[in-house]
Structure 1
Amino acid sequence: MQAIEITATILGLIQGVLVMLNRRINWFFYCLQMIALLFFSWNVGLYGDVINDVIYLFLGLCAYYLWGKGTTRCISLSSVRAVVAYSMVTIVSTVLLYFYLASTNDPLPLLDAISTTTSFLATILMVFRRLDCWIIWLINDLLYCAEYYMLPNQAIYLLILNAVWCIMAIVSFITWRKRLHTKPFE
């Protein structure tokens, strides 16, 4: 189990640096990390994360394709209307997922529900190169730090990864902000 956690951590660090630099190849490492996290999440009973990991594997493949296309080549900011809409959907989704996860043996159903829905939102926004994804990623990574710390068998490597990702989310926000509405690095 620890080998899977370490593998996911290494792949996540590689992917994090590459996405921070706005490189399309980050999605390859992202997909590999999702495969590793799928096995990890299943084994520790984080079923919300299992759902995420399956969806993210698909999103990673789509994102690799989309980042090579013209419509998502520039970094942009979500409109206020979009922020309100996705915030409402995230709140409703969190509540619904919580009730489902509370009926399973998930050790942290509320935290798992919140981190599941916010990471899904952040990933979708990242696929479409929205600057605001980094604010959501920062919040999400803080939630995952708490989740991995509170697990009965703490996932220390993934906790450290998410702590590093908190810093990377801040740096990515700054880096992407400088590139707002311009062509990507690639």
Structure 2
Amino acid sequence: MNISLPLMWGWVTTPLELTSFLLSVITVALNIRQIHWGWMFSILSSLLYCAVFFDARLYGDSGLQVVFVLVSIWGWAQWWRHGDVSPPLVVTRLDRFGRIFSVLASLLIFAALYFFLKSATDTDVPLADSFLTAGSLAGQILLSRKKLENWYVWIVVDVLYVALYVYKNLMLTAVLYAIFVVMAIIGARTWRALCPK
């Protein structure tokens, strides 16, 4: 049953979107503070948002949530390492090769996903959906490895997501991504202070 909950300004949401919203805010707040439990909230919010996005015909974003679950499990393991055999991860910057590889891999994923969404689905936003899905995947992988640049990727992606979600009438999720922009700026400043020059 798809229950509508009234918000402000005539907006409506569903219990599923509202729960996903709350879990996502908790996730990013814990990630900024480098608390590994954030990955558990990431897994939960990703599973719920998978259904929200599928219902909105954002198939790239819906599929991305499944990938986010897998990357979150891996990220959680990366952040939880300790001891002599597996030293804990610390915040670092990408080297030149890492930046070039990240951009090229993202562009390749974007192109492949765009072709798939355009030819095999009924989405009305294949370009935006595929571009933002590729960018989100890059941001999530960089976050998993505690790379400072993840926050810069998220700032760009989240700004563009606000517009997409307004267009798709996912107003609460649009607000969430506006909050994410602010949180990503805070994350970048916080992690930059921890990162070796």
Aligned residue type for 1:150:
Y
Structure of larger gyration radius? 2
Separation (CA, whole Å) in 1 of partners of 2:139 and 2:62: 17
Q: Does 1:142 align with 2:154?
A: no
Deviation by residue 1:93-112 (Cα, 9 ceiling, x = unmatched) = 21221111112111211000
1:115-134 Cα distance to aligned partner (Å, 9 max, x none): 10000000000000000000
Task: Give the secondary structure class of the aligned counterpart of 1:165.
Answer: helix
TM, length-normalised to structure 1: 0.92
Bigger mean CA offset, 6-15 vs 70-79: 70-79
Q: Percent identity?
A: 24
Report the equivalent of 1:18.
30
Q: Deviations over 1:130-161 (max 9, x none)?
A: 0000000001101211110111xx00110000
2:126 paired with 1:109 = yes
Could you say which residue in structure 2 is the equivalent of 1:91? 107
Once the two structures are TM-superposed, the CA of residue 92 in structure 1 deviates from its matched residue by: 2.0
Q: Is the 8 A contact 1:15 1:30 kept in 2?
A: yes
- Once superposed, what is the RMSD of the aligned Cα atoms? 1.4
**Gap regions ≥5 residues in structure 1:** 182-186
Distance 1:72 1:86, change over 3 A: farther
Is the partner of 1:67 in helix, strand or coil? helix
Does the alignment pair 1:39 with 2:51? Answer: yes
Cα deviation for residue 169 of structure 1 reads 0.5
Q: Work out the CA distance in 1 between the residues paired with 2:190 and 2:26.
A: 17
The number of aligned residues is 180
- Normalising by structure 2, we get a TM-score of 0.87
Tell me, yes or no, if structure 1 residue 3 matches structure 2 residue 15. Answer: yes
How many angstroms apart in 1 are the aligned matches of 2:18 and 2:97? 40
